Amino acid sequence: MGEIIKGKTIADKIKLDISEFVNFRKANNLIIPKIASILVGEDGGSIYYINNQEKISKSLGVGFEKILFPSSISEEELIDEIITLNNREDISGIILQLPLPKDMDEKKVISTISSDKDIDCLTYENVGKLYMGEKCFLPCTPNSVVRILKSLNVILEGKRAVIIGRSNIVGKPLSSLLLKENCTVTVCHSKTENLKDVCKEADILISAIGKPKFINDEFVKDGAIVIDVGTSSVDGKITGDVDFDNVVSKASFITPVPGGVGALTTTLLIKNSCEALEKDED
């Protein structure tokens, strides 16, 4: 039976740091961090994520503004709203829930976000810094995966890591972070041949494709670490990419959904907003 990795346990330690930061600022009449989180449309996974952001932010004393737009909003209107947030001094961090409606130019909208408030590393400037190994806001979901792996006291150097999914949000930046840890990284996608065989070579298997229970024990090598990044809404419940009950006995460590990567991702997002506020004041 694989050991279940609780993202909450790791997140709780980071939350203590955030609470101390906020309490210090309150005690000294300083501005506290505030996040503006934008959602266009009604994607189930994004709704779950933004509600969780609000809940955790408020519990830590961090300001939070949930900005909801119908999918009918025009690209120009959305860009204007983001520019307004860029110019607001009370907003320290901006996050845009993806994907956007298909009729929008996602890259154009993302590029509108101020790089100084881009707390999930979406803009060209921050992504460029990430790939060049320069200091920047680390993308929260990929950073959560690395934090979880490091918490296991497992030597990452030389490990074969297989990532399923090549999105700009998870797969690509995660490959960069794992390369920095000296893993040997393979990124799989919809055109990958013999996917199961490739996955079974992985010491660390990470799925980020949003296909409920797609990964079963046929994809997993005995003793592999399995990290489930996927979130899909199935019958009103958040479900991961991994068929947990089928895989848990084969893995050495495994993350649940919910309660795994997502439990840490939001906390790291909030921590980035604290760092953005400090950076702005320097």
CB 174 within 8 A of CB 147: no
Q: How far apart, in whole angstroms, are the C-alpha atoms of residue 239 and residue 245?
A: 12
Query: Could you tell me where the DSSP H helices lie in the chain?
Result: 7-27, 44-59, 75-87, 106-110, 124-132, 140-151, 171-180, 195-199, 244-247, 261-281
Structure tokens that stand for 82 in this block: 């983001």
Torsion angle defined by CA atoms of residues 281, 83, 70 and 75, in that order, rounded to the nearest 10 degrees: -140
Domains and CATH numbers, the chain: 27-117 (3.40.50.10860), 140-262 (3.40.50.720)
- Greater pLDDT, 1 or 229: 229
Average pLDDT score over residue span 173-201: 97
Average pLDDT score over residue span 197-209: 98
The pLDDT value recorded for residue 263 is: 86
- pLDDT over 90 (residue 46): no
Of 27-31, 34-38, 77-81, 132-136, the range with the lowest mean pLDDT is 132-136
- pLDDT over 80 (residue 147): yes
* Omega prior to 256 cis, within 30 of 0: no
Three-state DSSP state, 63: strand
For residue 56, what are the contacts with CB-CB under 8 A and spacing of at least 6?
Answer: 15, 266, 267, 270
Q: How far apart, in whole angstroms, are the C-alpha atoms of residue 248 and residue 133?
A: 35
Annotated binding site for NADP(+): 165-167, 231
Q: What is the pLDDT of residues 229-282, one digit of tens each?
A: 998 878 888 899 999 999 999 999 999 998 999 889 999 999 999 999 998 776
Annotated binding site: 165-167, 231
The pLDDT value recorded for residue 66 is: 96
Q: What is the pLDDT of residues 169-185, one digit of tens each?
A: 999 999 999 999 999 99
> What average pLDDT does the chain have?
94
